Each structure stands twice: as C-alpha cells, then as structure tokens.
Structure 1
Amino acid sequence: MTYADVLARAEADPDVVGVILTGSQARGTAGPHSDWDVLVVVRSHAPRWTTSLTPALDTAVLTVAELADVSDRWARYAYRGAVVLLDRGGIAELVHAQAALSPDEVDAFVRAELDGYINFVYRAAKSRRDGHHDLARLDEIEAGPWFLWTLFAIYGRVRPYNKYLRWELEHHPLPAPWTFERVTDLPSALFDDLERVARAHGYGDVYDAWDDLSLLRAGD
C-alpha cells in the first residue's frame, strides 16, 4: 500500500477520525532514503486497520484515547512539526497536547530532570578531580539527556530526538545562548548558563537542596 492509498482509504472510512503525517516528511527534512510515517486515528481498533512497517511507508494505528495519552514522554516529540491531514474532531488539539508540555508537566519535568542533570555533572566533576577521566566521560554522556529534557521543559517543550535537534533549534529557536552549537557542548560546561536560566524560572530551590556545588561553578 502506498502513502496515497492510505489517505484515500482513510478519507473513505467514517471510522477514521484523523490522519497525521510525522517524521522527516512532515518536517521537510526528508532525504533519498526517508520513508513516510503516517498515524491513522480510529474510533476503535478493527481488523481492517493494522499497523504496518515497510521500507517506504510506516503506518501506525491508534485510537483517540491512545492519542490523548501523554504518558509516553519519549514518543511525544514525534508530534512536533506533525501535519494533520484529516481531522474529524479534536485531532489537532490532541497533537498539540502531545508536542508541548502543560504548566503542571513543566514543573514536574524540570524538577526531576534538573536534579538528575546536577547529579551526573557533579559525579563527573568528582571523577575528574580524582583523576578518573574515563569515568568522568561516562557521567558526562549520561548527563546529556537530563540537560536536554531540563532545558526544553523550562520553555514548555518536549526534548527533541537527537536527529532533529538542529532542525528544532533552527526552526523554533530558544532564547540566547541556546544555539545548536551551545547545547551540544559538554554538559558540565553548560552548568552556569543553565543555572541562571533555571533560577530565573523559579527553580533555584533545586540547586539549593545540594550541599556544595563549588566543583561545578566556574566562578567558585
């Protein structure tokens, strides 16, 4: 089945509530080896609509309730830049809810992810201090995802997949200094800038809960 076939079938089926194009085709970054990623939203699962993965076309089938479920945070970036091709009621709003964080989610995400980021850069700093540069490197690697989740959550956004990080920051920039080149620096080198931003957004208490962060602050 081709991309056009899926759209035609969906248009003709009253049980299909929506069709969503995601991935590189939706974001305008498709290359010669890119496939089409299509989500078909149905009222309820039925045998005539099944998930199918082929080299040219990935078709995933989900219900409205499944589209409304934002608990899988890693899956949420798939909806960033998605194109709603068919909407028979509320699909665009659900896509938006997947691609952005609510105020309650922002607070929960930032607090959890910021604490994890501090933990790993602190471990890296202690390892460097003790001459264990190989272990420090591993902790820096682990700190990266915590940093990205923190940074994007502060601004109400879900963390981009690494593949789309440059696209995200070029098409939807964050305030200075958060360019692509900056956010891909070593996580420990971002500590001071992130602390300033996090404190400005009301998260100073996360830092203050730590006894001593002098190893991490450039001015200390």
Structure 2
Amino acid sequence: MWAVDILDEVLARAAADPVVRGVILTGSRARGTETARSDYDVTIAVAEQPQPWRHSTRTDALDEVVCTVEALTDTSVHWQRYFYRDAKVLLDRLNGGIAELIDRQATLSAEEAALHARTSLDAYVNQLYRCAKSRRDGFAEAALLDEAESLPWLLETVFALHGRLRPYNKYLRWELESFPLPGDWNTALMPDRVRTASLRLFPAVETLARCHGHAEVLEGWGSDIELIHAFAEAAGADRC
C-alpha cells in the first residue's frame, strides 16, 4: 500500500503540473529486484528549469530527480546510462518521446559500442600488464590489487563487445539472468565466478575482441601481451 501511495502521489503531482513531460521509474523497483528497504527512484522530465538536473526529494522512501527533456537526450555521461536499463515510463506526454529517450539512454549504438570496447579493452590490458609484472617481480599482494582493478574494465569490455552497457555490480546477476550473453560468457561473468577470474579470462576476452575487429588494440601492446598470456595460462591451470 505504501508503494501505491508513493507512486500515486508522484503521478498526481505530475498530472497537475503542465510543465511535466514525463515520469520514469528506475532502479530496483522498476526491475522487480527490490527489497523491503528499497526506495522509489523516480525521474521527472520537465520542459524547462534553471538547471538541467536537480534533486527534488531524497528520503528513505522516495528519491526524486527532476531534469529537463533536453538533459534526458544527453548520452555523453556513460556511467549513468545503465540507470535507465528496464526503466518504466509511467507518464509520457510526448506521445512516446520520453520512452524513446529512455531507450536511447539504455542502449549503445554500434558506433558507441565499438568505441567503448576499444577504450575499455586497452584499459583492461594495461591493468593486467601491471598485474603480470607484479607477479613476475614477486609482489603478490600488489598483483592481487592490480587484478582486482582490472575487473571493472573486463566487464566494460565484454559487455561493450556484445553491444551492451555494463550493469552496475548490484544488477550484474539480474542482467545476466534477464538478458543472457551468448556462449560461456553468461556463466563466466556471474558475480561468484568473475570476481577472481579477470586474469584467467584474458585469452577468451582476447579472442572475442579480435573477432569484433579490435586486434590493433592488442597488437599495440607488442610483446607485453606474452607476459599476460603466461600468467593467464598459469591462473587457468591453478583453477583446474
């Protein structure tokens, strides 16, 4: 009942305000993964306001953000785009325009995916190279930290190579269960497996990247790749 009251109140305010163009429910409540402590994440799109974004309400029950329609068209801030994954449009006064903007936020174009894959792949290789050097030189603790830092780049790379946004950690399992990746990736990236698998998965990421036309990123690292291969192979053998 509390949930209905909150959304009813938000929608009633929105309906009475001619400036409002749309109401969007995001977060765990939209995805059906909420707990008893989950609040309601609501974005209100308006025709105009002095600033593009502002927090209007932030309580234990409701986190309400107001933005302009123009701000909602801006897809340049990559990290926040997953926020709109599987969002629910509760009010759309633009005859489907709000829904289109939300879908655009949550979906990478082919060009965006390719660019992000290249950038993330390079960062992933860089961090694994640091990990491999630390292992080679006997700095075991540093190597573990280096590998841990490579994990976000692994996830960014693999999802981008599949044309998708990397989910927030909280929603990684939900994403894989709701929208499975092909082949072995769905199992490999499950949270209980991937958290210690970044180095071991390098050969599979390399193969995937080459298949998607990113060989030049890998070849740009020259013979340094061989050091990563050596420790990736050892990590795979240790698991076996």
Q: Report the AA paired with residue 161 of structure 1.
A: Y
Counterpart selection for 2:89 from 84, 90, 106: 84
Q: Report the AA paired with residue 68 of structure 1.
A: T
Counterpart selection for 2:209 from 174, 177, 198: 198
Q: Is residue 200–residue 233 contact of structure 2 (8 Å, CA) maintained in 1? A: no
Please say if 1:173 is aligned against 2:208.
no
Structure 1 residues 12 and 86: alpha-carbon distance in aligned structure 2, compared to 1, 3 A threshold: same
Farther-moved stretch of structure 1 (113-122 vs 172-181): 172-181
Match of 2:35 in 1: 31
The 2-side partners of 1:33 and 1:96 are apart by 27
> Map of 1:60-139 to 2, 5 A cutoff?
60-89=65-94, 90-139=97-146
Q: Is residue 3–residue 57 contact of structure 1 (8 Å, CA) maintained in 2? A: no
Match of 1:147 in 2: 154
Structure 1 residues 50 and 162: alpha-carbon distance in aligned structure 2, compared to 1, 3 A threshold: closer
Query: 1:186: Cα distance to partner?
Result: 2.3
Runs of 4+ in 1 over 3 A off after TM superposition: 181-185
Query: 1:126: Cα distance to partner?
Result: 1.1
Please say if 1:58 is aligned against 2:63.
yes
Q: Is residue 123–residue 139 contact of structure 1 (8 Å, CA) maintained in 2? A: yes
Query: 1:216: Cα distance to partner?
Result: 2.0
The 1-side partners of 2:55 and 2:110 are apart by 35
Match of 2:164 in 1: 157
Q: Report the AA paired with residue 37 of structure 1.
A: D
Note the aligned Cα RMSD (angstroms).
1.9
List alignment gaps of at least 5 residues for structure 2. Answer: 235-240
Q: 3-state DSSP class of the match of 1:189?
A: coil
List alignment gaps of at least 5 residues for structure 1. Answer: none
Please say if 1:10 is aligned against 2:19.
no
The 2-side partners of 1:165 and 1:63 are apart by 29
Sequence identity, in percent?
Answer: 52
The 2-side partners of 1:163 and 1:78 are apart by 12
Aligned length, in residue pairs: 219
Deviations 1:164-188, CA, capped at 9 Å, x for gaps: 0000000011112112155434211
Please say if 1:211 is aligned against 2:215.
no
Farther-moved stretch of structure 1 (8-17 vs 179-188): 179-188
